[in-house]
Every structure is written in structure tokens, then in C-alpha cells.
Chain A
Amino acid sequence: MAAPYAKLPGWVDYGLIPLINLVVAFLVAGLVVLLVGENPLRAAALLVQGAFGSGDGIGYTLFYATNFIFTGLCVAVAFHCGLFNIGGEGQAYVGGLGVAIAALTLDTVAPWWITLIAATVMSGLVGAAWAFIPAYFQARRGSHIVITTIMFNFIAASLMVYLLVGPLKPLGSQVPATRDFAEGAQLPRLDWLIEMFGMNVRSAPFNVTFLLALAAAFGVWVLIWRTRLGYEIRTMGFSPTAARYAGVRDTRIIVVTMLISGALAGMMALNPVMGDQERLQLDFVTGAGFVGIAVALIGRSHPAGIVPAAILFGMLYQGGAEIAFEMPNISRDMIVIIQGLVILFAGALEHMFRPAIARAFGGLAEGRPKPSAAVTR
């Protein structure tokens, strides 16, 4: 794809342009707030207040951010290979199955950290397995990965409903969920981390999975920029023909990338299932897989961008609840709009402000054309 866009300095490409896109998205969201007759500035103040104003607020913000780090990384890893994994939602959902298997087996006999290790491995494996079929079909049978992963999201939803109203439900229970996990599968909270800053946490389920998410972010950075496999993944994403010419086995790279991507999505299930609800229940993913798309786009598929972007969305989720509480005309669905606008402006319209900015950078804009960062296969 030859896109005649000028090369811009790195900080513009990775800092300024995403920032402008984000600001525009929020301005449009502000218009919606105006449209329903509320004050957007007050809404913004409530948002920040709700997300960071109390220990509990911060706890919830970081709890949601943990989910989005995992799903953001999931989307980002696939992006680097030129693949669009839209199936993070489904992979995370079945990943919960892996968590449940580990937790229900070990919770009465092992301490939490052994269960956590087992659950991490299991959720990663199940998530990866769910990504395997779309990946294999994309690589060998030429079916479009976007379509197959969408289909797999729905298949995952049906599968989980079937399992949770049937085989996984304890006898005599009316609730479509597994039994509650015993102590051996309940993750310790990280309240002390927030309390270090002199704040109080009462109910926020902020737990050790957050540290695991940060470790995963670091791991992804090492993988993509410091290993041979990462180099092959990026080559593949940059130019499949060049990669093939250089002797990269494309089927292998596509499948391996998607397995990693699916595993990251699967691990997201640890946070809500073991860290909060302490049982496997319906619809625990609540759209986090899709938020991952926005997070990866804003974070420019780099872990150093994904973590702050995830915290930003964590803030929206937590602060959005506060707005909903204070402003009767605005419900938490406002977040969904903001999410959509962010995806639109930071993703689909990412080039909209580029020509103007390139012009502003006059002389620098004369450089060689830069291939578009968009992923299409």
C-alpha cells in the first residue's frame, strides 16, 4: 500500500498525532454530553474526580486498566504481524474456562500463588487454542481473520452459556456460574500499593494481576523488539512478500503470533474471575476485548503506550460510573460512545490531521514516503 504521507519526527508520530486524535474524540463526546443537556466540563471534572479522587476510585481504575493492558497487548501483538485480531473478546471469555479449571482443581489444596501460576498457564493455553483455528485458516486456507475471529466471538459466547447453564453449574444452583472459589484461588489485593500514598481502599478489587499485566507488557516489548521471533513478526507485518523472500515461514509466524495474541487475551480472565468475582460467571469480559482495540490504537501498539492508554480507559470506566451517578441523563453507555469515537479518530481517521501537521513541519515533510501504519490483510 503506497501511502504518500511524509515522514514525521518520532515524537509527532507517536505523541502528538495520537494526542490530537484523542482530544478530537473527547471534543465530539463533549458535544454528545451537550446534546443531552449536561455540562461537558462538569462531566469531565466528575470523571477525573471519580477515577482518581479516592483510594477506591484509583483501585477500580487500575483494576479495569489491568483488563485493558492484557487485551491491548493482545491486539497490538497481532497488529505487528499485520493481523487484526478482533476476537480478543471471545478468547478472553474462553480464557475464563482455563482459569476456572485451574482454580476449581487447586483452590482447596494449594496456596494462591500456585493456583495463579496454573491458572495463568491454563487461561493462556485456552485463549491461544481459541485463536488457533482462525490463525490456521488465515494462514493456510485464506479465510479472512477478521471475519473468523468475529464468528469465534459469537461461538465462544454460545459455548460459555452452554457450559455455565449446564455442566459447570453446581447441582441445585439457579445461577449460571461455577461454585465460588475457595481461599486457594482468591488473589491477594494490592491495597497496600494505594495505601502507600495515604489513601484508603475498601472495596476495589485491585489485585496482583495488575503486576502480572505489567510483566506481560514488558514481555511483549522484549518479544517484539528484542527477539528474532519479534523481528520476523514485524517483518511479516511490514511486508509479507519481503518476509517470505527473506525466508520467514509465513504460516508459522501467523499462527505463532495469533497464539501469543490469544494467550494474552485469555490471561485477561484472571483479573475478573480470580481477582474479583471469585467464580466463573456469564459475560465477565464486558467488552474489554473490544476496548483493547482502542487501547492498542492509542498506544500505537507499543507497550509503553498501551499501559497509559489502558489506564486512560480504566479511568473512563470508573469515572464514567461516577458521572452516571451524578448526572441522570448520562449512563455508563457514554463510555461506549467515547470508545467508539477514540477508535474512529485514532484508528480509522488517523491520517486526517496528518497532512496539516506535515505541512506545519514544512521542511521535514519532504522526506521519503512512509508506509501507512494501518493493518490490512
Chain B
Amino acid sequence: MGALETFILILDSTVRLSIPLMFAALAGLYSERAGIFDIGLEGKMLAAAFAGAAAAAVYGSAWIGLFFAVMVSIGLALVHGFASITHRGNQIVSGVAINFIAAGTTVILGQAWFRQGGRTPPLSADGSRFTAIELPFAEAISGVPVVGLVYSELISGHSILVYLAFLAVPFTWWVLFRTRFGLRLRAVGENPGAVDTAGISVTWLRYRAVICTGILCGFAGAYLSVAQNAGFVKDMTAGKGFIALAALIFAKWKPVNVMFACLLFGFLDAVAIRFAGIEIPGLFEVPPQFMQALPYILTVVLLAGFIGRAIPPKAGGQPYVKER
């Protein structure tokens, strides 16, 4: 296999690996821009993955799976909202709690309902799973050098959720920066007092932001269990929620940057999977564990302000107390 082909295959798996990150990081974007920190992305994604796979297996439809994934994820997002908006609880603590509840519940319910050691039944390709979409002419021009290969391997042949993820990026940008809702959402994350003074409910606005987070986390989970894999396995998010969080910070809370950050982290993952250890000729071997740790290391370095500066929304993490 030529170097070009290898490279395109790596890019192809980069896309696949970065989709759940992209959904989850965009999900976190809504919440954090509204001033609600969310380290429960992981848990919401996991619960959604389970709900999606379980519903898809029972009803035999990927779309019903997606619907349940989104609903369950919204449910958990509302718990987070109830704790951190209504009861002004600590947002970090609430996020941690949601991660644990999701991790435990998915396995317990999975075992009780399906008796396959916490797995859900494998999904077949006929309708109960999001399958690859062949774009027109993909087969026909696959012979054309470079362009054909890029088109047929990289652009064509993904599930509908992949294309939706890439559409979600400009859509999120549009919502946040070109609509009244987005303006208010960003304002509530910077200065909730001002928003309140303008006669807009901080509580309702933040709840809506948290619901948006739930919806997108649902997509992230459904992608994992109903599109990328054929069913749910225990702890299948494996820290992706936290990498998404890292990507969100790495992207400095901006939608288009989020896409590139997720692609970068997905690329690192793809390379780590492809090459067990990368040899830098004559020098040393980069262990695969280093590649896996790289997203986290990069985020720490960025947060410390060594490469640019990541400034979070000003009111992030603080519950809003209305003056009385």
C-alpha cells in the first residue's frame, strides 16, 4: 500500500474517531457558554449509547434508538440543571455524580434486560443501525488518482450521523453568534446579572442551554453504539467525554475551533491505533501511550497559557442568585 493510501486511511479513521468527540464537545459548548460547567459529558454519552443500542435492538430501528438516546441524555442533563441551576449545587460535583450514575446504571440495566454481561444484543445492518452512505459516483471515480481516492474513501461511505456532526458545527456557530437566543446564551455565561436586568430569565435560558447539551450528547452516544459499533458494551465511552471536554477547552469555547480540535485529537488517536509505536529514525520510539496522553498534555499546556490563552466564560461554574 502506498504512503498516500495509508495516509488517507488514517484520515478516514480520524473522521470516524472524532465524530463522538465533536458531538460531545459541541454539546459542552452550549452548556459552558451559558455558564454551566459540565464534566458529565462522559456520563450522558454513555447513558445515551446504552439507551440508543437498547432501543435500536428492541424496536429494530436506528432512528428510534437515536430518539431514546437523546431522551435519556436530556434526562440526565436536566438532573444536572436541577442540581446546578435550581438548587445552586456545585456543578463539578453534579457532573461527577452523573458520570457514576451512568456508568453503574448502564451495566446493571443491561445485564438485567439482556443478560449478555452488560452488553446489548448485536445490531444487524438492516435498519437497526446507521450504515454507511455511498455518495453518488463514489464507485465510479474511485479509480481516479488522489481525487477519486479522497472522494470514495474519505468523503463518501460514512453514516448519516457523521455528516450531521459536520453540519452541527456551522449550525452551532449560527445559533450562538447569529441568533437572539445565542446572544443571550453567551451573555448569561458572561454576566447573568445583566441578562436578568434586561428582564430575561436566567434560569430558563440556562435550562435551555443544558437541554441543547443533552440533545448533542445523545447524538454522540448514539453514534458510538448504533453507528460506529453494533451495540453497547460496558464503559464504551472510555474517557471520550473527557477528551471532548479537553477539545472544548483547547478550542477556546469556539465552534469551528472545536471541530479542528476534535479532528486533531481524533487524528492522534488514529495514528496511535495504526502504529503501535512510532519510530523516529535514529532517535527513539514514541510509545503509543504517549500518543494517547497527548490530547490531555496539550490541553494542560494550553490551559497554562503557554500556547495562547484559554479564557473560560466569566460566570462559568457560579450559580446565579437573583437579587432580592
List chain A positions with a Cβ less than 8 A from chain B: 1-4, 32, 35-37, 84, 86, 133-134, 137, 141-144, 146-148, 150-152, 154-155, 158-159, 161-162, 166, 290, 293, 297, 329-331, 333-341, 343-344, 347-352, 372, 374-376
Contacts of A32 in B (CB 8 A): 105, 108
Decide yes or no whether B178 CB sits under 8 A from chain A: no
- When distances are taken between beta carbons in the complex, the residues of chain B under 8 Å from A351 are 87-89
Write the B95-117 contact mask toward A (1 if CB under 8 angstroms, else 0).
Answer: 01111111111011101100000
Which of B83, B88, B101, B318 interacts with A340 by CB under 8 Å?
A: B101
> Interface residues of B: mostly helix, strand, loop or mixed?
helix
User: In angstroms, how far is the closest chain B Cβ from the Cβ of A7?
Assistant: 17
State the CA gap A330–B100 with chains docked (Å).
16
* Residue of B89, B299, B300, B324 touching A348 (CB-CB under 8 A): B89
Q: Provide a sorted-by-A list of 20 A–B residue pairs whose CB atoms are within 8 angstroms.
A: A1-B319, A4-B324, A36-B111, A37-B112, A84-B92, A141-B303, A146-B39, A147-B246, A150-B39, A151-B242, A158-B293, A159-B289, A290-B100, A293-B93, A331-B118, A333-B103, A348-B94, A349-B89, A374-B88, A376-B91
Cβ-defined partner of A337 (8 Å) among B37, B108, B245, B310: B108
Give the docked Cα–Cα distance between A172 and B242 (Å).
36
B96:A343 contact, CB within 8 angstroms: yes
Residues from chain B with a CB closer than 8 A to the CB of A376 are 90-92, 317-318
Pairwise interchain contact A344-B303, C-beta atoms closer than 8 A: no
Among B108, B242, B312, which residue has its beta carbon within 8 angstroms of that of A144? B312
Chain B residue numbers with a CB within 8 Å of A86 are 92, 96
Q: Are A4 and B321 in contact (CB under 8 A)?
A: yes
Interface residues of B in 179-211 (CB under 8 A from A): none
Chain B residues lying within 8 Å of A35, measured Cβ to Cβ, are 109, 112
Distance in Å: Cβ of A133 to nearest Cβ of chain B: 8
CB–CB A372/B88 < 8 A: yes
Within 8 A of A (CB), among B35-80: 37, 39, 79
Residues of chain B contacted by A2 (CB below 8 angstroms): 321
Are A374 and B293 neighbours in the complex by a CB distance under 8 Å? no
- B130 CB to nearest A CB, Å: 28
B residues in contact (CB < 8 Å) with A = 37, 39, 79, 82-84, 87-94, 96-105, 107-109, 111-112, 118, 239, 242, 245-246, 249, 287, 289-290, 292-293, 296-297, 299-300, 303-305, 310, 312, 317-319, 321, 324
The answer to whether B305 and A141 touch across the interface, beta carbons within 8 angstroms, is: yes
Checking A3, A37, A333, A343 against B88 with a beta-carbon cut-off of 8 angstroms, the contacting residue is A3
Pick from B79, B82, B104: contact of A336, CB under 8 Å: B104
Q: Are B92 and A335 in contact (CB under 8 A)?
A: no
Instruction: Please tell me if the beta carbons of B100 and A343 are within 8 angstroms of each other in the complex.
Output: yes
| Bound CA–CA A329/B107 (angstroms) | 10
The 10 closest A-B pairs by CB, nearest first: A340-B100, A336-B104, A337-B104, A348-B94, A143-B303, A340-B101, A344-B97, A348-B89, A36-B112, A347-B93
Interface residue SS majority, chain A: helix
Q: Out of B108, B290, B293, B318, which one reaches A333, CB within 8 Å?
A: B108
Q: How far is the CA of A368 from the CA of B287 in the complex (A)?
A: 58
Chain A residues positioned under 8 Å from B105 (CB to CB): 32, 337
B278 CB to nearest chain A CB (Å) = 14
Residues of B within 8 A of A36 (CB): 108-109, 111-112
Interface centre among A158, A293, A330, A339 (most CB of B within 10 A): A158
**Given known contacts A137-B304, A143-B304, A154 and B293 CB-to-CB distance under 8 angstroms:** yes
**Alpha-carbon separation in the docked complex, A141 to B94 (Å):** 26
Q: Kindly report which residue of chain B lies nearest to residue A143, judged by CB atoms.
A: B303
- Whether the Cβ atoms of A337 and B300 lie closer than 8 Å is no
Interchain CB contact (< 8 A) of B300 among A148, A290, A333, A372: A148
Write out the residue numbers on chain A whose beta carbons fall within 8 Å of the beta carbon of B239. 154
Q: Give the Cβ gap from B276 to chain A, nearest Cβ, in Å.
A: 11
Q: B100, A336: Cβ atoms under 8 Å?
A: yes
Alpha-carbon distance between A173 and B243 when the two chains are bound, in angstroms: 33
CB distance from A290 to the nearest CB of B (A): 7
User: Does B99 contact A340, Cβ atoms closer than 8 Å?
Assistant: yes
Query: Please, which residues of chain B bring their CB within 8 A of the CB of A372?
Result: 88
Point out the residues of chain B lying under 8 angstroms from A3, CB to CB.
88, 321
A290 to B42 alpha-carbon distance, docked (Å): 15
Q: Which residues of B contact A375 (CB under 8 A)?
A: 90
Q: A36-B112, A146-B92 are in contact. List 11 more A-B contacts (CB 8 A).
A: A151-B297, A158-B290, A158-B293, A290-B100, A329-B112, A337-B101, A340-B98, A340-B102, A344-B101, A374-B88, A376-B90
Select B104's contact among A37, A334, A347, A348, beta carbons within 8 Å: A334
Closest Cβ of chain B: how far from A325's Cβ, in Å? Answer: 14
A residues within 8 A CB of B319? 1
A343 B245 Cβ-Cβ under 8 A = no
B100 closest partner in A (C-beta): A340
Q: A37-B112, A155-B296 are in contact. Are A347 and B304 (CB under 8 A)?
A: no
Residues from chain A with a CB closer than 8 A to the CB of B245 are: 147, 150
**C-alpha spacing A315/B245, complex, angstroms:** 34
CB pair A335–B104 under 8 Å, yes or no, is: yes
Instruction: Give bound CA distance, A107 to B91, whole Å.
Output: 45
Given the known inter-chain contacts A141-B305, A329-B111, A336-B103, please indicate yes or no for A150 contacting B242, CB distance below 8 A: yes
CA distance A162 to B89 in the complex (A): 38
Whether the pair B93, A348 counts as a contact (CB closer than 8 A) is: yes
User: Chain A residues near B317 (CB, 8 Å)?
Assistant: 376
- The distance in angstroms between the C-alpha atoms of A37 and B92, with both chains bound, is 33
Set of chain A residues within 8 Å of B242, measured between Cβ atoms: 150-151, 154
